[in-house]
Structure 1
Amino acid sequence: MAASTTPIADLSTAMLTAPVSAGHWLVILPVALCIVLGALLLTLRAHVRLHAPIAVSGLAALVVVDALLLQKVIAEGPVTMVMGRWLPPFGIAFTADLFGALMALAAAIAALAGSLYALADTDAGHRRFGFFPLLLLLMAGVSGAFLTGDVFNLYVWFEVLLISSFGLLILGSERRQIDGAMKYAVLNLIATTLFLTAVGYLYAIFGTLNMADVAQKAAGLRDSAPLVTLAALFLFAFAIKAAAFPVNFWLPASYHTPRIVVSALFAGLLTKVGIYALIRVMVMLMPVEREELSLLIAVLGAATTLAGALGALAQTDIRRLLGYVVISGIGNMLVGISIGTPGGVSGAIFYALHSIVLMVALYFAAGIAGRLGGSFSLASLGGLYRARGWFAAVSLILFFAASGLPPFSGFWPKLMLVKASLDVGAWWLAASLLVGGFLTTICFGRVFLLAYWRPAGEAAAPAAIGWTMTVPLLLLTALVVAFGILPEQLLSLTQSAAESLADPSAYIHSVFPGGVP
């Protein structure tokens, strides 16, 4: 028999042929851990009592994994893991840079705190219908969004976290929950459709969905492709998901309806995924197009900041009030994106990390206030300072941080954003940030005077507060204080993250170590 003359293919140009180091598995381990544990809890649906300890332990492990990943990225730069050893653009890449690793770690800390708080905030019914599996699925989607290196898979992870968020939103099946879920679902459906449309146009223009490949090819296509239109599509899709003005109304209409722990996780995580995607696409992939749209983004940011602060002033329900505070914070981050300088982007990243921790803590405090006072209405609450002096002190720290007052974590990103605005001559942006902070200070001053300082009425019925509610609140508050008093390390990391987004050469080299094919 004649020997075959077919040449042997050189797979080294398309596949990884060298063994993958153990450290690279840290890139996909956060997603894999959450999915495996969530599936395990589904198989244990007849043993609901095991759900809580497994979920809490798993989320503690997630914090450790994300911390190790951040440490590796700080030491070595961006780290890439490709599926099936196929090199991009053939294989789907997970790439962890400093920005993604920071966001993933902050999200994991918030989720761990939420799992502890849920031990007291959820009953047997909520757990039987899948609270903890849905929480793990939510974290799989959030972690995947922060760590993926592919635009289409960013869309996929958005869908994963949305599916789980729908389940968490309606747990309990109360009428107000269904009403809130409808508003939440409709607006997110519109945003998802816009996102998927933009992804389709991106592939049609670039012939690839790999972020590093897109960043490399964008410069050569600007004269022949409608990249500004494409960037505008991404902007509107992510702005809806982030609850930016004028499509912010869905957030305060839905976030106050589920359990406090669910509202806290939504406020801390979901809108930040939208901001993360906006920074990743507009700053790293399409910086020139971001510059073209900078005035529009700036107007949206200023309007969102002021609309959120004014909306919070008009509320009498603490949960709805906090929803508007979330919106105001989104406006601050949009201002940083619109400026686009390393200082502005660094301020937006710092604010996002601060907001993840702070908003979860604020909702936890609102939940405890509701238990102590028997209501979430400012008209009914009172006497919380006398009932729990330590709780009033913790709440006041969080109120100061949300208002951007020193010496807490909210002061530094607000200062960075104001300075970045003034550096580019946008005094009106700096004014919007300062006015928004002033209105937020008045808002929380009103909450403290009515709910904490005013004597309790006859309707108040103090309830016991267990350690599963106080420990997460105290730990998150400690982070708020620590990053306010000792901000140097986080400032350095966010500055480095912003610079790496402006110059993605290290990111591109991590994905294509041999050069872009």
Structure 2
Amino acid sequence: MTWLVPLPVIMPLLGAALTLLMRRRPNAQRAVSVTVLAATLAVTIMLLALTVNGETLTVAVGGWAPPLGIVLVADRLAALMLVVSAAVTLCVLIYSIGQGMTDREENTPVSVYHPAYLILTAGVTNAFLAGDLFNLYVGFEILLAASYVLITIGATKSRIRDGTTYVVVSLLSSLIFLTAIGLIYAATGTLNLAQLAGRLDALPDSLQLGLQGMLLLAFGIKAAVFPLSAWLPDSYPTAIAPVTAVFAGLLTKVGVYAIIRTQTLLFPDGPAATVLLVAALLTMLVGILGAVAQSDIKRLLSFTLISHIGYMLFGIGLASDVGLSGAIFYVVHHIIIQTTLFLAAGLIERQGGTTTLERLGGLAKLAPVLGVLFFLPALNLAGIPPFSGFLGKLGLLQAGVADGGILAWLLVAGSVVTSLLTLYAIGRVWNLAFWRTPRTATAPDADAVPGRGMSRLMVGSTVALVTLGTALTLISGPLFDVTSQAATELLDREPYVYAVFGEESP
């Protein structure tokens, strides 16, 4: 069944080409995009079913055996990330179709949107499957090239200005990553991850630390880790709601995935674990303090996005089975919940004409369904029992207590404080936007018109993600089993190396 492995990359790319040819036929574009992403989701579910029992699937692209050729690797972690990303991208696409039909494509020109969106999907899936550093770089560049188009759709002044910041920061991180790739190849003679797992160990400690630091710097920018996160709150909120949602849910997690993969496979015993723990604590606290200070829902959610990246770094930095398992579980949880909240913010903007808290009020009475769609994922994000956010944080806290170090205990305390402040921040949104007396916006936002309406597709796709996020609680036991097995497999390294090279020594 190895022929399934490249399909999550190939199908979106073919779909992008087809939708570009259909640029004058918007209905056909929609049909092709939905069909392609639905098929991609089906394929990723099959890959997860095949890998969940421990089988790692590999494909040497073009028949070139590793390390000479490009190898795609689907293990438990990659397959799990593929399923979640495919489900999220499909729901966001349906949401965007509903928004475009309601707006009559005024802000989302389908001739550009659908090809770019499918190319973005291909870049994300390629990054998850990449078996060598250069192909990981290619995956990043594919998704970034598409994101440059998506973040400026509508060509408003604010989108162009903030999109420029995003482009510059992304190019900087890519340049650092490419430089690190060149240095690693010069030092080891290979970029294949499985082969690097052995060759990097033979390098002097100082050189290993330098290479590790460059990769962490590049991935830290992409993942919005403090102090490399200042660009995010100014870039994401200005884009159209579906683009902001998929960026917030997925793109930063590709950076987190790259940190997980390289830390466990290439630098399992490096001293950078302490740096990760310090960065995790600062990311949590600075991010959530920024969220508390915001008066706009989308900017507030952008800061909570930064803050909760710290939870993932917490588990990675502990470098234990329990910690890494908790980090992977939290990545899955956060992709779904953060995407849902940004979609709900898009619905709030359509209903109230703005996302500025001072101009909103009474939404619980005016749009009770919208209240539920925001309330449930907001509680989940804050970690209220019995939601998956609580379970993920509990797993990380247990890992921190088991570690017993001073930094680990500080992170346990920081995690609790961050969770309480997250509850305060989303409670403030609920109180001002939903509970208090309805207000009329005195200066409506330029891109928003109050009462434009929420199409069934927009509401339905948000409901689907709310349901999926809530269902994580019901399947948390099996999901933790998968993440625990994935963590053990990552820390062992041997299953990954054996899957790529077999009995031959890399």
Same fold (TM over 0.5): yes
Query: Does residue 433 of structure 1 match 2:433?
Result: no
Match of 1:481 in 2: 470
Q: Which moved more, 1:130-139 or 1:279-288?
A: 279-288
Conserved in 2, the CA contact under 8 Å of 1:216 and 1:508? no
TM-superposed CA distance for 1:391, in Å, is: 2.5
Aligned counterpart in structure 2 of residue 247 of structure 1, from 204, 228, 237: 228
Conserved in 1, the CA contact under 8 Å of 2:359 and 2:440? no
Query: Does residue 493 of structure 1 match 2:482?
Result: yes
Match of 1:301 in 2: 280
TM-superposed CA distance for 1:489, in Å, is: 0.8
* Alignment gaps of 5+ in structure 1: 1-22
Give me the whole-angstrom Cα distance separating, in 1, the residues matched to 2:259 and 2:362. 43
Aligned counterpart in structure 2 of residue 400 of structure 1, from 339, 363, 379: 379
Q: Which moved more, 1:43-52 or 1:244-253?
A: 43-52
Query: Does residue 388 of structure 1 match 2:367?
Result: yes
Give me the whole-angstrom Cα distance separating, in 1, the residues matched to 2:82 and 2:340. 18
Conserved in 2, the CA contact under 8 Å of 1:411 and 1:484? no
Query: Does residue 169 of structure 1 match 2:145?
Result: no
Query: Does residue 153 of structure 1 match 2:141?
Result: no
Q: Which moved more, 1:71-80 or 1:408-417?
A: 71-80
Equivalent position SS for 1:244: coil
Query: Does residue 331 of structure 1 match 2:313?
Result: no
Aligned counterpart in structure 2 of residue 79 of structure 1, from 57, 60, 70: 57
Match of 2:216 in 1: 235
Equivalent position SS for 1:355: helix
Aligned counterpart in structure 2 of residue 197 of structure 1, from 172, 179, 186: 179
Q: 1:46 to 1:215 in 2, by over 3 A?
A: same
Give me the whole-angstrom Cα distance separating, in 1, the residues matched to 2:96 and 2:16. 16
Conserved in 2, the CA contact under 8 Å of 1:397 and 1:408? no
Q: Report matched runs for 1:47-126 at 5 Å.
A: 47-75=25-53, 77-122=55-100, 123-125=104-106, 126=108
Query: What is the letter of the counterpart of residue 304 of structure 1?
Result: T
Deviations 1:434-455 (A, max 9, x none): 1111111000000000001112
Deviations 1:15-70 (A, max 9, x none): xxxxxxxx101110000001001011111122233111110111111100100111
Give me the whole-angstrom Cα distance separating, in 2, the residues matched to 1:465 and 1:405. 28
TM-superposed CA distance for 1:124, in Å, is: 2.6
Give me the whole-angstrom Cα distance separating, in 1, the residues matched to 2:364 and 2:349. 13
Match of 1:448 in 2: 430
Conserved in 2, the CA contact under 8 Å of 1:129 and 1:171? no
Match of 2:120 in 1: 138
Q: Which moved more, 1:110-119 or 1:466-475?
A: 466-475
Aligned counterpart in structure 2 of residue 127 of structure 1, from 109, 112, 125: 109
TM-superposed CA distance for 1:459, in Å, is: 4.0
Match of 1:44 in 2: 22
Q: Report matched runs for 1:262-341 at 5 Å.
A: 262-289=243-270, 292-341=271-320
Equivalent position SS for 1:410: helix
Equivalent position SS for 1:130: helix
Give me the whole-angstrom Cα distance separating, in 2, the residues matched to 1:71 and 1:340. 26
Query: Would you say how many aligned residue pairs link Structure 1 and Structure 2?
Result: 492
Conserved in 1, the CA contact under 8 Å of 2:54 and 2:76? no
TM-superposed CA distance for 1:366, in Å, is: 0.6
Query: What is the letter of the counterpart of residue 62 of structure 1?
Result: T
Conserved in 1, the CA contact under 8 Å of 2:44 and 2:82? yes
Conserved in 1, the CA contact under 8 Å of 2:288 and 2:422? yes
Deviations 1:76-125 (A, max 9, x none): 51100001212111121000010011011100001000110001223435
Equivalent position SS for 2:388: coil
Match of 1:181 in 2: 163
Structure-1-length-normalised TM-score = 0.93
Q: 1:177 to 1:139 in 2, by over 3 A?
A: same
Conserved in 1, the CA contact under 8 Å of 2:200 and 2:266? yes
Q: Which moved more, 1:244-253 or 1:390-399?
A: 390-399
Q: Report matched runs for 1:462-473 at 5 Å.
A: 462-473=451-462
Match of 1:5 in 2: none
Give me the whole-angstrom Cα distance separating, in 2, the residues matched to 1:364 and 1:224. 46
Give me the whole-angstrom Cα distance separating, in 2, the residues matched to 1:346 and 1:87. 32
Match of 1:18 in 2: none
Conserved in 1, the CA contact under 8 Å of 2:24 and 2:111? no
Query: What is the letter of the counterpart of residue 150 of structure 1?
Result: D
Give me the whole-angstrom Cα distance separating, in 1, the residues matched to 2:253 and 2:207. 28
TM-superposed CA distance for 1:329, in Å, is: 1.2
Match of 2:446 in 1: none
Conserved in 2, the CA contact under 8 Å of 1:117 and 1:468? yes
Conserved in 1, the CA contact under 8 Å of 2:30 and 2:114? yes
Query: Does residue 354 of structure 1 match 2:333?
Result: yes
Give me the whole-angstrom Cα distance separating, in 2, the residues matched to 1:301 and 1:75. 32
Query: Does residue 259 of structure 1 match 2:240?
Result: yes
Conserved in 2, the CA contact under 8 Å of 1:34 and 1:137? yes
Which structure has the bigger radius of gyration?
A: 1
Equivalent position SS for 1:511: helix
Match of 1:508 in 2: 497
Give me the whole-angstrom Cα distance separating, in 1, the residues matched to 2:505 and 2:105. 53
Provide runs of 4+ in structure 1 moved above 6 Å. Answer: none
Equivalent position SS for 2:59: strand
Aligned counterpart in structure 1 of residue 9 of structure 2, from 16, 25, 31: 31
Structure-2-length-normalised TM-score = 0.95
Query: What is the letter of the counterpart of residue 116 of structure 1?
Result: I
Query: What is the letter of the counterpart of residue 166 of structure 1?
Result: Y
Give me the whole-angstrom Cα distance separating, in 1, the residues matched to 2:383 and 2:393. 6
Conserved in 2, the CA contact under 8 Å of 1:382 and 1:455? yes
Match of 1:3 in 2: none
TM-superposed CA distance for 1:463, in Å, is: 4.2
Give me the whole-angstrom Cα distance separating, in 2, the residues matched to 1:407 and 1:42. 45
TM-superposed CA distance for 1:458, in Å, is: 3.6
